Amino acid sequence: MQTRRSTKKTPASHAGHRPSELCLTIEDVNKEGLGIAHSHGRLVLVFDALPGERLKVRVDHFGQNRIIATTLRVLKPSKSRTSANPCPHFRSCQGCPLLSWDGSAQLDFKTDTLITALKRYPELAELTPADIWAAPQTVGYRASAKLAVSRDFGKTRIGLYRRHSHAVTDISACPVHHPLINKIVKIVQEQMDQIGVLPFNPHDGSGLLRYVLVRINPLQKKAMVTFVTAERNYRELTRLAKKLQQKAPEVVSIHQNINASSGNVILGRDTVRLMGFPDLVDQVGDVRLRLGPTSFLQVHHAQAAKIYRLVRQWSECRAGESALDLYCGVGGISLHLASVAGQVVGIEVVTEAARHAQANARLNGFDNCQFFAGDVAKLLNSNLKLPGRFGTVVLNPPRSGCDDQVLAGVAQLRPRTLIYVSCHPETLARDLAQLHKYGFQVAELQPVDMFPQTPHIETVARLVAR
């Protein structure tokens, strides 16, 4: 049957009038922590909103199907809204959507996000996660930062891209960053203006500095800084590096990474040391880790240490039994397993990370670890000389989760225990459902609040062969 097209005219408020402010009641919150409402026949997404609140909001973008807005005034607050907001960049940065939420509301939201993802799959719908592990430190916890650089009104800005734009918001006083990161960023900002080091301009190709990467050892208060530049440069960057070390002696290692690409990828292939040590030695949980300028490590050390110890506890490695750690990074989980397993094999796609993992095994006195660099799926299905049977296999993939080839390869190994460490509930649920088809069922789920003030959640799952 053909549907008659309506001849009713669209009201002027829908077609022409685009309000700069709205008064709304928040119906729900999406997985990104943005409030959901409706107005002018459109979905409205509101930054800094809690369910049930009545708000006056500023319209940042009025689109054909949706409106993007930011809270101006809270007319009727939620009981879960906190008045303590330690961030001067809160509404311009918008990197911490849950900063106005009290602690218990944040944890409930993250647990609900995980449960919602699981319920999409019938075989997972009845799973009940354990109580989420709250973070002991909810501000000042972040031990690394990747920050963009730009210039505005004759001043250097170092910070994050504003939501839905390429404009850089200064976050030199970010409350979730460790104070040493903020100190370093402020010095680099000031010295760039004084020395005349210009940020890279993607529109005309002028300038030099694209990003500043800072990694710290919170226990020893030492730092590594990497300048990502559009081309090789020695003179200007060396001056900047020397000034930085003079004003922040905590910086013990400074590198330059060259990224000449035109895309949004932060790091290029080539990294050279400008000053100081080649690596930064850190401590997470029971192991010391030597980290390079491009190494990945969880940003919240206390929570990462809990995860590493949980994986070791859940592995229940028996004497002489081997463990396989896939997407092993610099070896944080592998080295915790090395203290209880007969042998540990780690596979990591990033060559530098695999090299650091081997060095970290030596640093911690373990001679029962072996690390391979390459594509996980290909190495699993190659003639790689692996030990006989693995009692434990650990998966710790990026946000995109695991390829089915990897899951199938792991299933063929038939480990007694399979542990999946995830930073994304949706890809975790998808992969757990696939592993269920391969004969593994979830025995335990432990959510972990790795990123307080943000909607992100880490989850550790223990699976056993059926």
- CATH code, 251: 2.40.50.1070
Specify if 3 maps to a domain.
no
User: What is the average pLDDT across 80-84?
Assistant: 91
Per the structure, how many domains does the chain have? 3
**Predicted TM-score (pTM) above 0.75:** yes
Catalytic residue among 87, 174, 402, 423: 423
| Element of type H or E holding 21 | strand 21-25
Q: Are residues 266 and 332 in the same domain?
A: no
User: What is the average pLDDT across 88-98?
Assistant: 93
User: What is the average pLDDT across 6-17?
Assistant: 46
Residues composing the chain = 466
Q: Are residues 291 and 156 in the same domain?
A: no
3-state secondary structure of 186: helix
Specify if 87 maps to a domain.
no
Tell me what pLDDT residue 83 has: 84
pLDDT tens for each residue of 327-362 = 999 999 999 999 999 999 999 999 999 999 999 999
Please check whether residue 58 is in contact with residue 69, taking contact to mean a CB–CB distance below 8 angstroms: yes
User: What is the average pLDDT across 263-289?
Assistant: 94
Range of lowest pLDDT (16-20, 27-31, 105-109, 325-329): 16-20
User: What is the average pLDDT across 187-195?
Assistant: 95
- Taking the C-alpha atoms of residue 353 and residue 251, their distance in angstroms, rounded to an integer, is 22
Band (3; pLDDT cuts 50, 70, 90)? very low
Task: Tell me what the pLDDT averaged over the chain comes to.
Answer: 92
Specify if 86 maps to a domain.
no
3-state secondary structure of 110: helix
Is the predicted pLDDT of residue 421 greater than 50, yes or no? yes
Q: Residue 398 maps to which CATH number?
A: 3.40.50.150
- Taking the C-alpha atoms of residue 375 and residue 397, their distance in angstroms, rounded to an integer, is 12
Q: Are residues 345 and 399 in the same domain?
A: yes
**300: containing domain:** 116-136+285-465
What distances in angstroms separate CA 66 from CA 13, 28, 62, one per listed residue? 14, 15, 7
Q: Which of 278, 294, 321 is the last residue of a domain?
A: 278
Is the predicted pLDDT of residue 427 greater than 90, yes or no? yes
pLDDT tens for each residue of 193-243 = 999 999 999 888 899 999 999 999 999 999 999 999 999 988 899 999 999
Specify if 50 maps to a domain.
yes
Q: Are residues 30 and 131 in the same domain?
A: no
Q: Which of 231, 259, 278 is the last residue of a domain?
A: 278
Q: Are residues 130 and 148 in the same domain?
A: no
- Taking the C-alpha atoms of residue 66 and residue 225, their distance in angstroms, rounded to an integer, is 40
Q: b/e per residue, 245-274, with b = 16+ CB within 10 A?
A: beebeebbbbbbbbbeeeeeebbbeebeeb
Tell me what pLDDT residue 12 has: 39
Q: Are residues 251 and 330 in the same domain?
A: no
Q: Are residues 452 and 435 in the same domain?
A: yes
Specify if 104 maps to a domain.
no
Specify if 273 maps to a domain.
yes
| Element of type H or E holding 212 | strand 209-217
- Taking the C-alpha atoms of residue 400 and residue 424, their distance in angstroms, rounded to an integer, is 8
Specify if 108 maps to a domain.
no
Range of lowest pLDDT (20-24, 236-240, 260-264): 260-264
Q: Are residues 240 and 306 in the same domain?
A: no
Band (146; pLDDT cuts 50, 70, 90)? very high
Q: Which of 169-173, 246-250, 262-266 tops mean pLDDT?
A: 246-250
pLDDT tens for each residue of 36-58 = 999 999 999 999 999 999 999 99
87 is catalytic: no
How many CB atoms are closer than 10 A to CB 325?
Answer: 32
Q: Are residues 405 and 318 in the same domain?
A: yes
Please check whether residue 98 is in contact with residue 34, taking contact to mean a CB–CB distance below 8 angstroms: no
- Taking the C-alpha atoms of residue 207 and residue 348, their distance in angstroms, rounded to an integer, is 35
- Taking the C-alpha atoms of residue 177 and residue 142, their distance in angstroms, rounded to an integer, is 5
Q: Are residues 161 and 176 in the same domain?
A: yes
Q: Residue 36 maps to which CATH number?
A: 2.40.50.140
Structure tokens at 62: 């009025």
Q: Pick the more confident residue, 380 or 248.
A: 248
Specify if 42 maps to a domain.
yes
Tell me what pLDDT residue 11 has: 42
DSSP characters for 380-437? HTTT----S-EEEEEE---TT---HHHHHHHHHH--SEEEEEES-HHHHHHHHHHHHH
Band (2; pLDDT cuts 50, 70, 90)? very low
pLDDT tens for each residue of 434-444 = 999 999 999 99
AA letter at 30: N
Q: Are residues 181 and 326 in the same domain?
A: no
pLDDT tens for each residue of 100-139 = 999 999 999 999 999 999 999 999 999 999 999 999 999 9
Q: Which of 278, 296, 314 is the last residue of a domain?
A: 278
Q: Are residues 368 and 396 in the same domain?
A: yes
Band (6; pLDDT cuts 50, 70, 90)? very low
